[in-house]
Structure 1
Amino acid sequence: MDQIIMSANDGGAPTPISPDTFEELTHYFKYASSAYSPVCLRPNGNTLVLQFGSQVTDIQGFIARDDHRRELIVALRGSASVADALLDASVILVPFLTPGVKLPPKARVHAGFLAAWDSVAVQITTALATQRQLHPGHRLVTVGHSLGGALATLAAVSLLQIFPVSPVMDQTRTYSYGAPRAGNQVFAEYVNAEFGARAFRVVHTNDGVPTIIPTSLGYHHHGVEYWQHLDPPSPSTTVRCAAGGEDPFCSASIPSGGVNPAHATYLGITVPTPFCL
């Protein structure tokens, strides 16, 4: 695993990632892309634990178990309906109110994203509680693309508090791809402090979704951003940015163009390609 070699105040140029990190980012994107599939019987070739969803918010996804890597992976789908669009548009910043979770008093998150997470949180945590009893050494991983990436961050924050890490388990990790800003600076700093190098936020070239919710509304990205700044995707065209989340040398340097072609492809994989066999 690569370690963070820059801080938010380093001011240096972003550095290319290793082939191992590139392979890791690609591996977890396959789960994020598969979350768009209505049914995914073998997520990334692994065991399907639960296919979850909410009729109210139209959020869906699955929990997979990888016994080789000893992981329980929660994959959340990105926007795919009118209901999802309405959630995306609910940009008011609100306190993080989820049972069993307590954040710093001034931490605020996107109201629509929080409503989406809360609509499936009980299904997910109930299934994970059972799986953790059966597989106590498996770490928790959350993944998602677009809206799903923002939800993956909220999920990771929740699961980290709800499920304490045992001595034989690696701590929770989270991987987001093309995700919009999910909360304010206090929330971002909390994520950075709790996850550090275990939070991976990937942006493809000029994808406009990660910056579609502007900082002028009080929002702030968490780190660590991995920016594929050129095509085709490779370790040499993907850089690790400053740990603070709003590196001026990375994707934040490009004004948002909204949903564009770059948002539909990550690491050479077109969304929603299923990896379900």
Structure 2
Amino acid sequence: MKFFILATLFGLSLAICSHKDCTSCASDSSCFWDNGAGECKWVLFQVLSARENIILQPLSCPASLPAFQYTDDFGRNTVFPFAMASNVDGVENVATCLTGNTKNAQVLKQYTVPCDMLGSNCSATLFYHPDANAVVLAFRGSKGTAQFVIEALDLLFKSSQTAPLYNGNVFKYFSNSIQLLWAAGLGNDLSAQIQSHPNSQLWVFGHSLGGALSTLAANAAVRSGIIAKDRVIVSTMGEPRTGDYTFASEVTENLPQAYRIVHYKDIVPKMALKVALSQTNAYHNNFEVWYNNDMSGPNFAVNDRADDGSGSNVDIIGDLDSHLNYFNTDMNSYGPGPCTQS
């Protein structure tokens, strides 16, 4: 009798979920793609598959990697110093924090606005990097416990909204912050710089809150026609889930050369919390760069699946220490003089 029931269920699964590829399978709400088996299966059979093999949304199907290939050298010696320099107040101080591959970059302007009820600031710095012919935009991360807690509460309660700069829903703290910065002249000045350097690329970097704002700004630049998507490179560190599945899908389309760097068990990329794999109100875009180590060396893995149970998501529980240490550096005590954060 048990054999008959199992055979019947298996037959139903084959009949209902006969899709031969991940995208069409994951687009069918009755099915899921078992990436380990390379098969489309009935959604009720999820309990028989390992969590990291279950794909329920097309965006998390394995995707071809971008033309621009992420390297540890780029992350360590370009992304990291630009992002850290953006944490400093004042254009003259920002310049002192540019090291390694970034030392010849020109600091053009800094934009700082109060972005929550306590008056915490959000900030972005615009650069031109002549060595790479790149306009660079770097966003400051969270500063202080109060700002971090307000963001965390926003993510905890999953308060989100729509806005003209993006499609889908984005968590309110990030949405309000990017709109304030964009209106403070960032959008117009970015457009002017791209026009002044017509063959340049646009590089956008940030850590934590700065990562979310980086993704929003780069997406807005492509969406508004400031620059073509194939000229944009985004690399974030410790970026939280910024918006919902619709937003993540737009970002993946508009920013095909975007990388989310994650250190070990960093807790922030796991926020807003995504308990069920079927959940779509909080979703990452492609592609994740996971350093499942202390980041002292160049070893990492690029995950070609957006936001399911694979990659760094195999660890459901995260830690804050991983968030505060990237590229084997304590980000709260980075650099000389004004570069040191408190």
Provide the TM-score with structure 1 as the length reference.
Answer: 0.82
Correspondent of 2:127 among 40, 48, 64? 64
Asked whether 1:225 is paired with 2:285, we answer: no
Provide the TM-score with structure 2 as the length reference.
Answer: 0.67
CA deviations on 1:139-169 (whole Å, 9 max, x unpaired) are: 2121110111011111111011224436xx9
Q: Are 2:191 and 2:226, in contact at CA under 8 Å, matched by a contact in 1?
A: no
Moved over 4 A (4+): 7-10, 274-277
- If asked which structure has higher relative contact order (CA below 8 Å, sep 6+), I would say 1
Q: Which amino acid aligns with 2:221?
A: L
Asked whether 1:74 is paired with 2:125, we answer: no
Q: Report what 2:218 is aligned to.
A: 156
> What is the RMSD computed on CA atoms of the aligned residues?
3.0
Is there any run of 5+ residues in structure 2 with no aligned partner, and where? 1-22, 27-32, 37-51, 53-61, 63-68
Q: Indicate the structure (1 or 2) with the bigger Cα radius of gyration.
A: 2
Larger CA deviation: 33-42 vs 150-159: 33-42
Q: Report what 1:34 is aligned to.
A: 85
Q: Tell me: CA distance 1:96–1:233, structure 2 relative to 1, closer, same or farther (3 Å).
A: farther
Identical counterparts, % of pairs: 22
Q: Are 2:113 and 2:122, in contact at CA under 8 Å, matched by a contact in 1?
A: yes
Q: Report what 1:181 is aligned to.
A: 241
- Residue pairs, 1:106-185, within 5 angstroms: 107-122=168-183, 123-165=185-227, 170-185=230-245
Asked whether 1:11 is paired with 2:61, we answer: no
Q: Tell me: CA distance 1:270–1:175, structure 2 relative to 1, closer, same or farther (3 Å).
A: same
Q: Report what 1:22 is aligned to.
A: 72
Q: Which amino acid aligns with 2:314?
A: S
Q: Tell me: CA distance 1:129–1:274, structure 2 relative to 1, closer, same or farther (3 Å).
A: farther
Asked whether 1:49 is paired with 2:113, we answer: no
Hey, which of these two has a bigger chunk of helix by percent?
2
How far did residue 94 of structure 1 move? 3.4
Give the secondary-structure state (helix, strand or coil) at the position aligned to 2:72. helix
Is there any run of 5+ residues in structure 1 with no aligned partner, and where? 1-6
Question: In 2, distance between residues paired with 1:165 and 1:87?
Answer: 30
Question: In 1, distance between residues paired with 2:227 and 2:271?
Answer: 34
Q: Report what 2:321 is aligned to.
A: 261
Q: Tell me: CA distance 1:141–1:10, structure 2 relative to 1, closer, same or farther (3 Å).
A: farther
Asked whether 1:270 is paired with 2:335, we answer: no
